[in-house]
Structure 1
Amino acid sequence: MKIINLLLKRPVGVIMLWAGIILGGIWAGLTMEADFLPAFSVPKLTVIAPWQGVPASQIRELVTIPLEDSLSSLGGLKEINSISRDGIAVIELEFPWGTDRTEAGIRTREVIDLAWQRLPSDASKPQVLAADPGDVPIITLAVYPKNGDLMIARRLAARELRARLQRIEGVGSVQVSGGLVEEVLIRADFEAAAGIGYTLPVIAQALEASNIDSPSGTITEGRTEYIVKTRARAQNITELGDIYLPQLSEDQGSSNVRLSDIADISIEARDPVSFYYSASGQNDSLEGVRIVIRRRDGFSPTKMAANILEEMPEIKRSFGESLSIEIVQDRSQALNKAMRNLVVSLLSGAFFAFIIILVFMKRLSRALILLVSLPASLLSAVLLLFLFGRSLNLMSLGGLALGVGMVVDNSIVITERLSRRVNARDSLQQRQINISETVVSLVPSLAGSTLTTVIVFLPLIFISGLPGALFGGLGLSVIFALGSSLAAALSLIPVLYMVLNPEASRADRGRGFKQLRRLVRISLRRPVPVILAVVVLIAAGFLPFSKIHTAVVSPVNEGLIRARVMTAPGTSAKAVSQLARELTAETASRTSASQVTAHVGGEPDDPYFLASAEQSAETIMLSIKYPLEYGYKRIEAELSALLELPGSSFVIEPPENILEELIGGRDSNDWLLSGDNPEALRRSMEAIILEPELDAAGVVMLPADTKRTVRITPDREALASYGIGVDSIAGQLGSAVYGRVPTRL
């Protein structure tokens, strides 16, 4: 009572206080960080261990199991899962929620450094990814050479353009694929080399040791110190050919064999391991270079995309003479659209709330008083979010939008009761007394109803894990808005009512009020039918639950679907790329798609490609962008008819939900069959997939079908007679098949 009287005696102070809160909320809304999602980091790490050319069974025994044994000693490790495939082991580590992923990554790398020493010598060092290998790319660029030279396009994209993009704030990783990679190719004459005793490993070791600039210490002359450096690195292929090969024995004397004597040296395009095509309408598919840009861990995807878009005009001007650069996919557009729709919903809700208040209050003065409580409550909540270190994001704005209708409830009750108890013709002192008594009488009921609603949203703040990180801001926004609305109803509304002094309401509420009163009386006279009707409605409300689709978050449809075309294992890269080129053009011309892109394979230094269970050198990844008004089913039917190809299979995935991908959700079911016999497990899984109750469309089985294998069984007795070990034969074959990269020019 005393507090209410104090507020009513100082109306100017109360109004100025709330004006300051409103201005503070506006300032906070303009200055606080705006993001699409709350800032959080999923405590998962991925370890990838490539070993080229080794089958999955040996990868499991020689790489995966030793690494798992070492990684299991990590403190705080919650779960560890692994997949062994031909040429690579992928190990996923999950830590308890709240674990610092950076610190966990440092500890994991320390364990990997020790475990690597116990792995086979020719196995590559395992890499630790502080990100999900399925991390969604935000922006994809297509780079086309204006002169048709894919080698130049790839060189500029991989060196200069990539470095330019990585300097942009928020950019995490930039992966380049497609095009042609130039390399210095040394074709050794094996007969000539063998005739003088040189093998391919010996030649590679000679190049590695000779083509290098080595520091040789320092010398001092007077007061100046100089660094001594031995310059031996070749500057061109001519100097590379002039490198002398080492002597094979002490009896040989000095070596007079140069590299150019036993090998042809040239600069050529490396056999491509990745391809990229795009097409739209009736145009033929274009081959180019694909650049995939992912955000830095914890950085806003929309902010990163905005930074890139701001730099794109200058980037295009810098490379305009040689390259044509296009943004073929910007997934931040769907996020920005969702945010705009949410803001529009918030403003629309406030507008319609005012219209409804005006209709039922029948007085503009009272409606305006209530209207003030709406921005006062919402902006107070924004200010509180700012003080608590929160950001404006999809969840916090969603909480404010959810509270638009609730924040005026308390003010409506206060205003309605004041319109009945306070007479505009009374003196100022009498009005103060009437207003104070009215407000005090309503405090218990208003506080109780507000607290009841707050308790409903309070658990969202204390939920742990991903749901808490996502929905904690939503619950906090609603709680702040409701608390602010109660404070405004008990302080600002009475003061404004006293100052503006609107006319008292009439007792007659019109025909609508009379009909409502009549309906209430009928319900009170017949309680049993009313209770039965309510019970039936409640029961009917539970029936659709089993039919309603459940998801972590509501989908944000971008009008983008993907299709995977899996060719037979062992299909040559040339055949797969030709099929990808044809499919890109045909999909663009024979379907309703507005744009079609396709990529095949990936680079050996791309950890996302290596860790992916979906991508491979024999898989064509199609991305189809379609008008939203056409619908997914139409595109799916058109694609199904187009992708029925002999000797291959395909999977059409539904439209991607980027919001679910950003939080690490996957709309899929994972089945695990365990046992000691991999072949028996595979047959069991194949039998399960063929069950008629299971829709096998979209089912991916890991490990997948393997390539055909050429097995070489050495004659150990013959090898022993020549003094040759099995490891030497294996090394020679590996060098002959894959080649060696001993040095760089």
Structure 2
Amino acid sequence: MNLSKLAVLRPIAMSMVILLLLILGIVSVRNMTIDLFPDLTFPVAAITATYDGAGPEEIENLLAEPLENAMGTIPNVETISSYSQNGGVLVVVSFHWGTDMDFAALNMREKIDTVRDFLPQGVESPRVVRFDPSDLPIIQLAVKDVSNEMIEAKQLAEEEIKPLLDSIEGVASVTVEGGVENEIKLIVDPRELATYNVTLEQLQQIIGAENLNLPAGSITDQTQQLPIRVTGQFQSISDIETLPIPTNNGIIPLNQLVTVEESLKPYNQLSFLNGEPSVGISILKQSGTNTVAVAEQIHEVLDQIKTQLPEGIEIQTVFDQSKFINQSISAVTSNMIIGSILASLVLYLFLRNIRSTLIIGFSIPISIVTTFVFMYFSGHTLNLITMGGLALGIGMMVDNAIVILENIYRLRQKGLSMKDAAIQGTTEIGPAIIASTLTTIIVFLPIIFVEGLAAQLFKPLAIVVSFSLFASLFTALIIVPLFSSLFLKTKAQKEEHSITLFTKIVDKYKQLLKFSLRHPKKTVIITISCVLVSLAGIPFIGTEYLPAQDQSYINMTVKLPEGKSLDATYEVTERVNKLIEDIEEIDLTFVTIGGGNNFSVVAGTRTNQANYTILLVPKDERAQSDQEVAEQIRTRVSDLSYAKVSVEASDGGFSDDPVSLTISGPNIDVLQELADDTIDLISEIDGVREPSSNYTEGNPQISVIIDRAAASQFGIGSAQIASAVTNATKGVVASRLARNGDELDIRLMVESTYTSSIENLSELLISTPTGQKIPLQSVAQIARDQGPSQITRTNRVREITVRASILNRSLGDVTKDIEESLKENIKFPSNQYKITFGGQDEQMNDAFFKLSLALALAVVLVYMVMAGQFESFLYPFIIMFSVPLAIIGVILGLLLSNQPFGVGSLVGMLILAGIVVNNAIVLVETINLQKKRGMMTLDAILLAAPTRLRPIFMTTLTTVLGLIPLTLGFGEGTEIQQPMAIVIVFGLSIATLITLLFIPSVYLLFDRKKQKEFSEDIHFD
């Protein structure tokens, strides 16, 4: 080990290198981006296209089909789904993971150009939109006025707060939702207008033409060039009321024709914070920016704004992603510190030498700092996954250093000088720790070839763990020998009182080892039997995709039947608020009623729907998890039979629905019937919550069916009739009144009596070209009917998706029960109809398959690395026997912790495959070293195994204890790492204990066979 020798002989130079490394590490940490998760790229893009007036079936034939056909020719497309609704279509194109989405989006635009000429006239140009997780708000605010005068709050949010937030570096957009605004209403009675022979359109033109300030040239007066400006703009409501209007009865003021009043503008969205009216503000950050840094700047600006707010106006944070990030990273950091302390404590208990403990204690921060340097220059961010990888690596980080230090410590006890012990101790054991480190790192190589969401999440973790192991190798080979040569003092050749207990353990181990070596075949058979027996526990372990994360907030949707008004929905939310107001775990509730449809290509609003964001008190301040609180809410609102309520604890937003069943076939009515039957069946399965389908029934609507023959006799057309009805129901903004720095709409409206019922609407007067006024019923039939529903297709086949959540049961168990129930009870009318599982089940099976292949490849790579290190195929083969021994601990750990087997557990097994062989490597390496010195195989085993017992125990305990905080799930945001920690802790612990007896027995059997010494008698001292 030339580097180790150089470090020992050149301590000042190496100290300077360490100091430089520490400075570089601090700078790296300060400049690293902090985020919740690594940058994720989802291979999904969508096309939106609108065609006003067309129903779903027309949209399906005229827009969806040509766009789907065009997208089908693009490379790497996995699925194409379309959602056809009244007036527009959304086509979602999913690509294979790893596709360059910039190039894919460009391909989509080119394909749209090829079919643009085949689309109907009047279709707006289709747009391509990519899905980006950064499009989700990082902060949501609520502005409320204690006096409930929400007009001022809305103005304040839009005119003062929004511009200040928009100017912050890193903020992409700020959206204001809810609140109310004033406007000037001019209420018209069409019959009254008819008596003066004035139309609504004429009033609109007159008001718009009079409310103007216009330049009118210039004049020269006493050598001055003066511009002329004609000012006719309204200054007050009085100017509007007295506006002269020419009629057949002469010129009269406007207020004789219309009723002028200032009132609230029509609204389709309301927001409430803890039951009080409020205005919502959503803030999005720019892609690639530091979430925590942007959030800090936002809060600084908000603190300044709060000092200047008018009396009674309050701003409250509803959701802050940076808060969860800080809590999660703080929890992981605390776990790292606790793990480091426990690892150092283990070292002290074994060696009872404070200098040895300090050497290892100092090597931990050096390894961490070195890891941060690697992360910074490789472009990784500080997030929940990378910090979790660092926490996983804490225990393994000191393994190499402990093995080196223990060997140096042992040589010091034999009387070698500090420098000689440092050089010889590192040289003896260096090759073994290089091999063990490489075997651990090599297991992560197959993850590079794995695709999917799980791979995107765990690749950074694997890379960071690899960085930490490289850093630990650097520390073990350079830092530990350096400090040992300078500070390691111990008592020579004298058994210290402090290790008497361990001496007894060694003696007991020697007895067990001798017994195992007397009966090596029995030892092997018993061990294999234990592995086989442990496999019987597999059916009792459930399966899952990714564990749910407790982010301390819950989403709830309250949906009334289609067509219900905003007021009706508000009344239901009042009832919901009373039902959940006394739940202690709830910190605040923010509800938005109505608002724009999430299906952006469809006009209209969801007045029948309310969306809740329920913020819980911090995790460590409540007895129930977010899932349990969600179930409590779900139980309380279950009696609201007139509304569909969906309650879901936030899971990070990366997984699909736990249960997702796609029913496909040609007939939408048959699909709806099958979906209803499926919902009824899975509702009875234990653990299934809130099953529902994405089938959307049409809204109740009023159809105005024009009689073209009658209309042509009066000289009017469909456009004029539609305009008259629109003006009557929505009104028309004729102009705007500028007042006190604000602008109010001037809206001409027909009296509400004409739109209060179908009968009154039929009496609406329409002007003909001859000046005659005719009722609407003379040229059209008015009827109440059902609007068209949505048509969903995937890969050109119609489908309905049934979704559900699960509680207190594993995904695998629930899926199995659903499969059995559907197989027994669902009868398809023909083979054109089928049900397929999607959602988390599909994601889980895909991830399990790919990661299982990665695990198998990792085992092969570990063997190849060891074969190169030992220059033998036999000894690596012996060492590989330690891998299946970990199965016992893995199954035991999952059963005891009641953890289902998921992607996290599988990644834990991948890591375990690399570290579980380390103890066997050190053991076999030492046996071979003794044999090279002339000892017989049996004697070499009996000497090597007890000699390496202490470093094996120490490295195992440091790894295990370093992961104990993660295993117990301390703090927020540790749910993803917890299954990995459980698998590693139990798998490594059990494998280590068995390895100490099993590997020597296997080694002896293979050595006997190799040397053909089966007949040789074995004598023990």
Whether TM exceeds 0.5 here: the answer is: yes
Q: Distance in 1 between the 2:604 and 2:577 partners?
A: 19
TM-aligned CA deviation for residue 717 of structure 1: 1.9
TM-aligned CA deviation for residue 718 of structure 1: 1.2
Q: Counterparts of 1:368-407 in structure 2 under 5 Å?
A: 368-407=358-397
Q: Distance in 2 between the 1:197 and 1:125 partners?
A: 42
The answer (yes or no) to whether the contact 1:43–1:95 under 8 Å persists in 2 is yes
**Map of 1:728 onto structure 2:** 720
Counterpart of 2:732, as a letter, is R
Q: Which moved more, 1:268-277 or 1:539-548?
A: 539-548
Counterpart of 1:27, as a letter, is V
Are residue 740 (structure 1) and residue 740 (structure 2) matched?
no
Q: Distance in 1 between the 2:269 and 2:190 partners?
A: 30
Q: Distance in 2 between the 1:243 and 1:353 partners?
A: 86
Which structure has the bigger radius of gyration? 2
**Map of 2:512 onto structure 1:** 519
Q: Counterparts of 1:386-535 in structure 2 under 5 Å?
A: 386-422=376-412, 426=416, 431-432=419-420, 435-461=422-448, 463-464=450-451, 466-503=453-490, 504=492, 506=494, 510-535=503-528
TM-aligned CA deviation for residue 382 of structure 1: 1.2
Using a 3 Å threshold, how does the CA distance of structure 1 residues 642 and 411 change in structure 2: closer, same or farther?
A: closer
Counterpart of 1:618, as a letter, is N
SS at match of 2:681: coil
Aligned to 1:678, which of 668, 671, 689? 668
**Map of 1:264 onto structure 2:** 259
TM-aligned CA deviation for residue 387 of structure 1: 2.2
Using a 3 Å threshold, how does the CA distance of structure 1 residues 608 and 677 change in structure 2: closer, same or farther?
A: closer
Using a 3 Å threshold, how does the CA distance of structure 1 residues 511 and 313 change in structure 2: closer, same or farther?
A: same
The answer (yes or no) to whether the contact 2:85–2:602 under 8 Å persists in 1 is no
Are residue 189 (structure 1) and residue 183 (structure 2) matched?
no
The answer (yes or no) to whether the contact 2:67–2:115 under 8 Å persists in 1 is no
Are residue 583 (structure 1) and residue 573 (structure 2) matched?
no
**Map of 2:930 onto structure 1:** none
Using a 3 Å threshold, how does the CA distance of structure 1 residues 105 and 394 change in structure 2: closer, same or farther?
A: farther
TM-aligned CA deviation for residue 601 of structure 1: 0.6
TM-aligned CA deviation for residue 709 of structure 1: 2.6
Q: Distance in 1 between the 2:133 and 2:605 partners?
A: 12
The answer (yes or no) to whether the contact 1:374–1:407 under 8 Å persists in 2 is yes
Using a 3 Å threshold, how does the CA distance of structure 1 residues 198 and 692 change in structure 2: closer, same or farther?
A: same
Q: Distance in 2 between the 1:683 and 1:712 partners?
A: 31
**Map of 1:10 onto structure 2:** 10
Using a 3 Å threshold, how does the CA distance of structure 1 residues 409 and 388 change in structure 2: closer, same or farther?
A: same
Q: Which moved more, 1:355-364 or 1:710-719?
A: 710-719
Q: Which moved more, 1:150-159 or 1:106-115?
A: 106-115
**Map of 1:364 onto structure 2:** 354
Using a 3 Å threshold, how does the CA distance of structure 1 residues 18 and 133 change in structure 2: closer, same or farther?
A: closer
**Map of 2:27 onto structure 1:** 27
TM-aligned CA deviation for residue 23 of structure 1: 3.1
**Map of 2:907 onto structure 1:** none
Please give the per-residue CA displacement for 1:150-208, whole angstroms capped at 9, x wherever unaligned. Answer: 22222222332222322233333433333322223232332344566665556556666
Aligned identity (percent) is 24
Q: Distance in 2 between the 1:133 and 1:399 partners?
A: 22
Counterpart of 1:448, as a letter, is A
Using a 3 Å threshold, how does the CA distance of structure 1 residues 59 and 630 change in structure 2: closer, same or farther?
A: same
Aligned to 1:551, which of 545, 549, 556? 545
The answer (yes or no) to whether the contact 2:87–2:603 under 8 Å persists in 1 is no
SS at match of 1:343: helix
The answer (yes or no) to whether the contact 1:85–1:703 under 8 Å persists in 2 is no
Aligned CA-pair RMSD? 4.4
User: Which segments of 5 or more consecutive residues in structure 2 lack a partner in the other structure?
Assistant: 738-1021
Q: Distance in 2 between the 1:267 and 1:484 partners?
A: 71
Q: Distance in 1 between the 2:255 and 2:104 partners?
A: 51
Using a 3 Å threshold, how does the CA distance of structure 1 residues 617 and 744 change in structure 2: closer, same or farther?
A: same
TM-aligned CA deviation for residue 482 of structure 1: 1.3
Q: Distance in 2 between the 1:139 and 1:640 partners?
A: 30
Using a 3 Å threshold, how does the CA distance of structure 1 residues 367 and 601 change in structure 2: closer, same or farther?
A: same
TM-aligned CA deviation for residue 403 of structure 1: 1.3
Q: TM-score normalised to the size of structure 1? A: 0.83
Counterpart of 1:150, as a letter, is M
The answer (yes or no) to whether the contact 2:141–2:281 under 8 Å persists in 1 is yes
SS at match of 2:703: coil
The answer (yes or no) to whether the contact 1:609–1:615 under 8 Å persists in 2 is no
Using a 3 Å threshold, how does the CA distance of structure 1 residues 621 and 6 change in structure 2: closer, same or farther?
A: closer
SS at match of 2:443: helix
Q: Distance in 2 between the 1:650 and 1:413 partners?
A: 59
TM-aligned CA deviation for residue 43 of structure 1: 4.8
Q: Distance in 2 between the 1:467 and 1:641 partners?
A: 35
Counterpart of 2:723, as a letter, is G
Using a 3 Å threshold, how does the CA distance of structure 1 residues 296 and 265 change in structure 2: closer, same or farther?
A: farther
Using a 3 Å threshold, how does the CA distance of structure 1 residues 229 and 140 change in structure 2: closer, same or farther?
A: same
Q: Distance in 2 between the 1:612 and 1:666 partners?
A: 24
Using a 3 Å threshold, how does the CA distance of structure 1 residues 492 and 324 change in structure 2: closer, same or farther?
A: closer
**Map of 1:160 onto structure 2:** 160
Please give the per-residue CA displacement for 1:514-547, whole angstroms capped at 9, x wherever unaligned. Answer: 2222233333334445444544554526844774
TM-aligned CA deviation for residue 271 of structure 1: 3.0
Q: Distance in 1 between the 2:459 and 2:278 partners?
A: 44
Please give the per-residue CA displacement for 1:595-650, whole angstroms capped at 9, x wherever unaligned. Answer: 33332111x4xx75858999931123334444531344366345423441243232
Aligned to 1:567, which of 553, 560, 566? 560
**Map of 1:707 onto structure 2:** 699
TM-aligned CA deviation for residue 713 of structure 1: 2.5
Please give the per-residue CA displacement for 1:418-464, whole angstroms capped at 9, x wherever unaligned. Answer: 23335675568xx53x6444433333322211111010123345545
SS at match of 1:621: strand
TM-aligned CA deviation for residue 588 of structure 1: 0.6
TM-aligned CA deviation for residue 354 of structure 1: 0.5
The answer (yes or no) to whether the contact 1:334–1:557 under 8 Å persists in 2 is no
Using a 3 Å threshold, how does the CA distance of structure 1 residues 364 and 231 change in structure 2: closer, same or farther?
A: same
User: Which segments of 5 or more consecutive residues in structure 1 lack a partner in the other structure?
Assistant: 280-284
Q: Distance in 1 between the 2:603 and 2:721 partners?
A: 32
The answer (yes or no) to whether the contact 1:559–1:625 under 8 Å persists in 2 is yes
Q: Which moved more, 1:491-500 or 1:348-357?
A: 491-500
Using a 3 Å threshold, how does the CA distance of structure 1 residues 2 and 69 change in structure 2: closer, same or farther?
A: closer
Aligned to 1:349, which of 310, 326, 339? 339
Using a 3 Å threshold, how does the CA distance of structure 1 residues 483 and 226 change in structure 2: closer, same or farther?
A: farther
Aligned to 1:293, which of 283, 296, 313? 283
**Map of 2:623 onto structure 1:** 629
Aligned to 1:320, which of 310, 314, 318? 310
SS at match of 2:639: coil
**Map of 2:710 onto structure 1:** 718
**Map of 1:84 onto structure 2:** 84
Q: Distance in 2 between the 1:544 and 1:535 partners?
A: 16
**Map of 1:282 onto structure 2:** none
Q: Distance in 1 between the 2:117 and 2:236 partners?
A: 36
Q: Distance in 2 between the 1:196 and 1:669 partners?
A: 65
The number of residue pairs the alignment matches comes to: 722
SS at match of 2:281: strand
